[in-house]
Amino acid sequence: MDDVEVLRALVEEYSPSGHEQRAVGRFSDLAIELGFDVRTDEVGNAIARIGRGSPRIVFLGHIDTVEGVLPVRLEGDRLHGRGTCDAKGALASALVVASRHSSAGEILIIGAVGEERDSRGTRHLIQHLARPDFLIVGEPSGWDAVTIGYKGNLSLVVRVQGERAHLASPEPTTVEKGLGFLEELRRFCETKRGGTSFDSVAMKVHSIRSTNEGGPEAVELGLNFRLPPGLAAPEILGFLDRFPEPISYEVLDQSGAVQVAPRNEVVRALCAGIRDQGRRPTLLRKLGTSDLNLAVPAWQCPAAAYGPGDSHLDHTERESIAISDFLRGIAVLRVAFSRLATASLAASPTTALAVP
């Protein structure tokens, strides 16, 4: 089976979050065929291991995708299909590179479950898997770039309560109170503006629903905040707690921003691989969130996120990956794994930085 066939086999198993079992089985079969020892843990993560001893390199990919079947087809240089970019391209490239590992150390290639929903796979791993010496999170950075930071995330539903009033009355309606609340929240966010988008809080309203049960009324606002380094979710929640209007809220998900040291051993190994392909590397700070946000604070090891593919195609109907980029990603990871396998552990124990 050649490298592209490995990618195609993973993509052909449609695996939205919560329904990853068949894809985990396919991943496991492929990994066994490629020479790995494979196990599935209690929550369904697939863990493929090759090599023995130190250092321990973990490639933390995810096997789930967002929902939405896309026909898998190869057109010219592009493979189309759900998960090609986010993030089976990264997972497949790491799997084929590690299958040729023959030097010192152990490499784990993990297909985690649930990343697109609640990261239940990685939440389990950071509790039960020993701290790696080096960590690469498999997400599409583009084959010639390395991701060194992600913003944090706070997702919540706010409920603004009120009483039905006559529309001719001077009192604002509950909907108007909800809209006023949003304006106050936007003003609060403006006070948290930094020099760049990465350093600023961003708020999005993704749903508004009003209900009326006779007299009592409510407006439910679906909100998402992308948090910069230095701004933790409790600061936003503290603002909500102090708001004078009768509101309540439910937090659906939260994680802090993360930045790794831009010259840590993992970043340098990936940059070496990119330079080996004749390209000047780019270090990215992303406005989205990934499992790096959970793994770095837990494991405190040198880390970065990497994978071929254009992340702007994630979650879209145009999701696809250029085969040439996939193959360059393999070449980059080959250099990176080789460097990390022979890296001095003493030189890089504290080079990862998590921001609360």
The binding site for another protein (CB under 8 A) comprises 86, 139-140, 145-146, 196-198, 262-263, 268, 271-272, 275, 280-290, 310-312, 314
User: In this complex, which beta carbon is closest to another protein, that of residue 158 or of residue 340?
Assistant: 340
User: In this complex, which beta carbon is closest to another protein, that of residue 83 or of residue 162?
Assistant: 83
Looking at 20, 115, 133, 265, which residue is catalytic? Answer: 115
Q: How many CB atoms lie within 10 A of CB 113?
A: 29
CB of 194 to another protein, least distance (A): 12
* Beta-ladder partners of 202: 226
What's the longest Cα–Cα distance across the chain? Answer: 79
User: In this complex, which beta carbon is closest to another protein, that of residue 110 or of residue 284?
Assistant: 284
Q: Coil, strand, or helix at residue 323?
A: helix
Q: Coil, strand, or helix at residue 104?
A: coil
Catalytic-residue membership of 115: yes
CB of 198 to another protein, least distance (A): 5
Q: State both tokens at 104.
A: 């010192």
Closest CA to 112 of 82, 141, 149, 137: 137
CB of 32 to another protein, least distance (A): 30
Looking at 13, 20, 64, 144, which residue is catalytic? Answer: 64
Please state, in angstroms and rounded to a whole number, the distance separating the CA atoms of residues 88 and 8.
9
CB of 281 to another protein, least distance (A): 4
Contact criterion met (CB below 8 Å) for 133 and 57 = yes
Catalytic-residue membership of 2: no
User: In this complex, which beta carbon is closest to another protein, that of residue 178 or of residue 229?
Assistant: 229
Please state, in angstroms and rounded to a whole number, the distance separating the CA atoms of residues 273 and 253.
35
Positions annotated as catalytic residues are 64, 115
